[in-house]
Structure 1
Amino acid sequence: MRVTTDQRRARLVRRHLLAPSARARQAEEVAEALVGLHATDAATVALSAYARLAQPELADVERALYEDGTLLRMHCMRRTLFVVPTRLVPVYHHSTARAVAAQERSRILKLLAGENPGWDAGWLAEAERAALDAVERLGGAGAAEVSAEVPRLGETVVLARGKPYEARQRIGGWVLRLLAMDGRLRRGRPLGGWTSGQFRYHVAPEPAPMDVSTAQAELVRRWLESYGPGTTADVKWWTGWPVRDVRRALAEVGAVEVRLDEGSGWMLPSEAAGGGGDGGPAEAGRADGAGDEEPAAALLPGLDPTTMGWKQRDWYLDPEHTPLLFDSAGNAGPTVWWNGEIIGGWACRADGEIVWRRLADRGAEAETAVEAEAARLAEWLGDSRFVPSFPTPLARELTR
């Protein structure tokens, strides 16, 4: 079976809630639909939710994160910070986060040993226990508060010694982040507004046990449901797993091989049987194919899950535009979408004006729809301002 680029774009628009009629009612629905929201840049969480909510309110995102606790910030895929549905934490934890925490612990021990030979695994374990006790005793605390309670956490380590960008960092922040990766701490409210990346930490219940292969299969199933069809390389990149784990998980969910414009890809068996590509039943073609789609414009923030959802992006992004919209480390900047394709980039200026640049001309309808989305976003932001944590070349140009 073959799935065309037009069909993939149509699926993206519907499944990623970019069509106006597909927008969600609550932030939890957005996180479920996207298998998590990128949270390395704190502003991305609210802006990604905003773009996909029928009646976007910052209070709804904060309710889910800090009041109801139905969403949780955690490091998982590719060692990246995500906001995920709390009920699925065991899936993320056992499929990915435990391995990420082990890698992070090894990295930290290497850095500590380079600074002081006595800062070994035993020293780090004691520091973690002391940090946990301090967080529990304080009823939740930020890194500075915990470091003040535990003197050893106030120690510093020099990074990139001798380089122009040499920096000194406190050990306390590393320890708290590591405990959160292990699932022993959770991030609470930020120590500032909705764009702040500093949080209060709280003691977390241990994630429910789950077999690693079962967790990985469930995560891949959800990715295929939201992002499929995709290639093996796409799944490997998105999860950050070794290719052997990716292949095993694809086999466990019974993924069906399909033909894409750039080669072989995978779909869930239920979708392949229902005609997710051309040649399927007419009803399936209307739901996920191309032809009768609702026009959909969207302004997505930097590091948005849709922009960062695949390694192979040529089917929704002209490769010539990549240097303008991504930084040198591969971080996506704010993007303008039309019917499942990136057609430009945008930025928020210091005075609150939302400005954008067209990189691909898709006609007057697209132009009008994007302008309407820019006006809607400016109205929603009001007096709020934000600057992407990873500014891209086009974003810099637009805000000069």
Structure 2
Amino acid sequence: MTTENIPQTQRKPVVSIILLVLGLGLLLCVEGYYGFRLHTLSGQQKEIKEDYSNVNNITLGLFSVDQWHDEVAGILKNQVRNFKMTPKQKKALQVEVEQIILALINKAEGLINKPQKSVSGKITRFAVRNFVDTDDIKAQIPGFAKTIIAQVDNPTNKKQLSTMAMGKFTQMENTGVVDSLLSEKEALISKVYKKYQVKTVDQFNNKLTNSLENIKNQTYTYSFIMLIGIVVVLSLWWMLRRRVELHATLFIMSLLFAFILLAVGLMASMIEVDARIKSLDFVLLGEHVVFKNQVLFFQSKSILDVVEVLIKQPAVDSILVGILILVFSILFPVMKLSSTGIHLLGKKKLAENKVIKYFAFQSGKWSMADVIVIAILMVYIGLNGLLETQLAMLNIKSDALTIITTNNTALQPGYIIFISFVLYGLTLSTILKFITPHDSH
């Protein structure tokens, strides 16, 4: 049937309904697109932060034998090769060396002067007494000491000394356990570097930090655009409150917006726990050793992630909690939205069905969606306060040691969207009670 065949009295409502459907349909596509983008970016953000946390994890940095080996090796090489003695130190060292040489000569002389029983011993004693002037040797001790000190201060010999000093570290590198740990670390880092097309940890950190900042800005922008869409829908309800013939169409379109909010709210990350040591700086052998961005803990979870984790636990109580969250916070809202649409559009017999009426008007008190919102908020407040307190206790500022911690725990856009769904769903439930053509009791 075309609009030409519709009586003049009915043509205006039909046109209004078509325009309403087209307008809200376009807005729904925009809402769905930005909801999909928000979900996609949320997943990308989680993946990037997990890679960042793996590469910068404290077990691969501050608690890594390899990292300590590199830091200490660099210090030893620098200390030995660049070591310079002052004239005062050289004078004191010369006295020490002279005393050591003199003690060795005296000890050798004492051994020679002992009564010898063997023929070779007697020959040696005779040769030393008659051909070796120990007093002349002792007179040359200062010259020997100067030569030794000059050799120690020689750059070539310093290089050899630094190589000797690194011997223990080389032995540690060659042990099986360390080799295994290093190979695992190198494989992990190599894989991640290849993924992001970088070659150094600085390039990696800078690239991921910039990417995360861009994603954060985009996700909040998309969230606000979705909220604007909901505000537009609710504004239409106010403007068309007297157009009873449009209420059913407007309500069904409103339900589609609610489904989008629910889907995004369930799948996007809601809370992110990120605790790290921003900087650890201490003095070792007169030089600064610095570890930066050492991640202590990172987790990012959506409601569906939490349900999945709980259900996969071996403990029965965890599985039970996961099932309860699944039923009352996910399935109940879906059933409620579906039932409100069926109640409004369905025939009287279907609309008056006890199950449909229950989910449409009475299931709200059993839904835990609003409880989840409050619970996550309380978890965030409590956990954030606990981390702030504990990390603050690690902060140290002194000449020998400086530790700066940072707590990046935060609620994510998924939480905003889920709150919007809860409030929007309550509003739709109130609207349904006023526009239903059937008994709502």
TM-based fold match above 0.5: no
Task: Calculate the TM-score normalised by the size of structure 1.
Answer: 0.19
Kindly indicate whether structure 1 or structure 2 has the higher relative contact order, using CA contacts under 8 Å at least 6 residues apart: 2
Task: Calculate the TM-score normalised by the size of structure 2.
Answer: 0.18
Higher strand proportion (structure 1 or 2): 1
